Amino acid sequence: MTRKAAILGAGVIGAGWAARFALMGWDVAVFDPSPTAKATVEAALDRARASLPALYDSPLPPEGRVTHAADLAGAVRDAAWIQESVPERLDLKHTLFQEVQAHCSPGAILASSTSGFTPTELQAGAQRPGQIIVAHPFNPVYLLPLVELVGSGETPRDLLAKAEQVLDSLGMAPLTIEAEVPAHIADRLLEAVWREALWLVKDGVATTGQIDDAIRLGFGLRWAQMGLFETYRIAGGDGGMAHFLRQFGPALKWPWTRLMDVPELDEALVQKIAAQSDTQSGAHSIAELEAMRDDNLVSILRVLKDRNAGAGAVLRGHEAGLALPAPDPDTPAMPVTLDRQVPVTWVDYNGHMNEARFLQAFSNACDQLLHWAGMTPEAIAAGHSVFTVETHIRHLDEVQIGDRIRVKARVIEGGGKKFHIWQELWVGDRLCATGEQMLLHVDLATRRSAVPPDRIANWLARAKAAHADLPWPEGVGRAVGQRA
């Protein structure tokens, strides 16, 4: 059964929440009386559709339905998760929560995106205080996994546990904070850097561009994978964190910072910062900057996923639950062995999928088929593997960035040492490429061909028999340049 999320407030954060829920299979009801709300949500959905599936090598659930409710009561009715993302005014949030609780289910999670207020502040005057929690995300919500999750003494532990499970299922990383403090954890750190940056601009020490370069070309890259404390642990060498603190700790008392002061944001400073920002980034529209940001985040997150580090570890764990179901080898239909979106990292200078990525797609799809047949990590550790002898790829149509590609496989020969696999890569109803592979089962101890274990041989033999009555594929056995 599809679950329903209600999004109250469709600004940048609310629209991002709507996109995250919808692309993870939830139906979403949005309530925001602003005349621009629908356009904001649709733009976020378009960006999310172009980027979030590109993080995964497995298909996401079918997209949920997004509707815009005429009133708040209709939005929250039957919702399992209600996410408030209205402006940071405590009186506004209190009024909203009172109306929400008059119409929502007592079992629903009522979460606030607030970046600063504590749960106790939010719960004041509420009909059911324990129902209200903080779930503070980061922009763009549909790509960045972190959510700061905070409850109060009124919050049942099982409600927080339920919230963690929901966020996990969305591919997010809930960070449950035990103590209530204004601005939680991440924004307190960000505000410290932000204050110092404002002084550097005001005092003429650095421009906005220089400060951004200092972050993105230096410590920002380290933080993306290791954070702050682990980075400094390495800086301590073999002595670790204790040595680092003893060596560099005294410098914290030196007058390196104006952290405790905040510059007066008078009109002169506002204009100075705005002018520098225009010089730095004014050549691009906000939409262009958002697209650049999302493409870069996808590339960084995919690398981190490959390394199982940082936010990439969250992605890898979530993707494990999205794997394609194993088919019955006796089913005559060609099984789908790969179902994914083409990420920006797969596109070449012609703006379409690079030829090397077709090989990667077919290789990954073949690995999936063989995994179903029994070529598991355990089997490989026991000395059984498969070597590719020959591959022939035909490029029949273009594949663009963001396209959803599906690979289907047919076993032409299997059951002995030799495996002959035919594959077709589809985008919708377009056959865009075919891949034909000849493989040999190999004994890793001798590095020579050998008869595979019975489980693998039997599975492939059954698949071959099931596929035998399918029409013979056009192009099997073709040589390069050979006409049909």
Q: How does pLDDT run across 289-311, given as a tens digit for each residue?
A: 888 888 888 889 999 998 898 88
Q: Is 11 annotated as a binding residue?
A: yes
pLDDT tens digit sequence for 394-434:
999 999 988 999 999 999 999 899 999 999 999 999 999 99
pLDDT of amino acid 142: 96
Contacts of 276 (CB under 8 A, 6+ apart): 201, 207, 208, 209
Which CATH superfamily includes the segment(s) 4-184?
A: NAD(P)-binding Rossmann-like Domain (3.40.50.720)
The answer to whether 414 is a known ligand-binding residue is no
As a whole number of angstroms, the distance between CA 298 and CA 290 comes to 12
Q: Of 42, 13, 29, 9, nearest to 73 (Cα)? A: 29
Query: Where are the domains positioned within the chain?
Result: 4-184, 190-283, 336-467
Instruction: For residue 334, give the DSSP letter.
Output: P
Options 3.20.20.60, 3.40.50.1100, 3.90.950.20, 3.10.129.10; CATH for 336-467 is 3.10.129.10
State pLDDT tens for residues 219-261.
888 888 888 888 888 888 888 888 777 887 787 777 777 766 7
Among 16-30, 196-210, 245-259, name the most confident range: 16-30
Give the alpha-carbon dihedral of 279, 285, 288, 289, to 10 degrees.
50
Nearest partner of 268 among 204, 325, 172, judged by Cα: 204
Q: What would you measure as the largest C-alpha separation in the chain, in angstroms?
A: 80
Residue type, 252: L
> Considering Cα of 370, then 366, then 299, then 404, what sign does the dihedral take?
negative
215-224, 378-387, 430-439: segment of lowest average pLDDT = 215-224
pLDDT of 97 reads 97
Q: Is 116 annotated as a binding residue?
A: no
pLDDT at 278: 87
Q: What CATH number does domain 190-283 carry, 1.10.1060.10, 1.10.1040.10, 3.30.930.10, 3.60.10.10?
A: 1.10.1040.10
Contact 364, 338 (CB under 8 A): yes
Would you say 12 is a known binding-site residue? yes
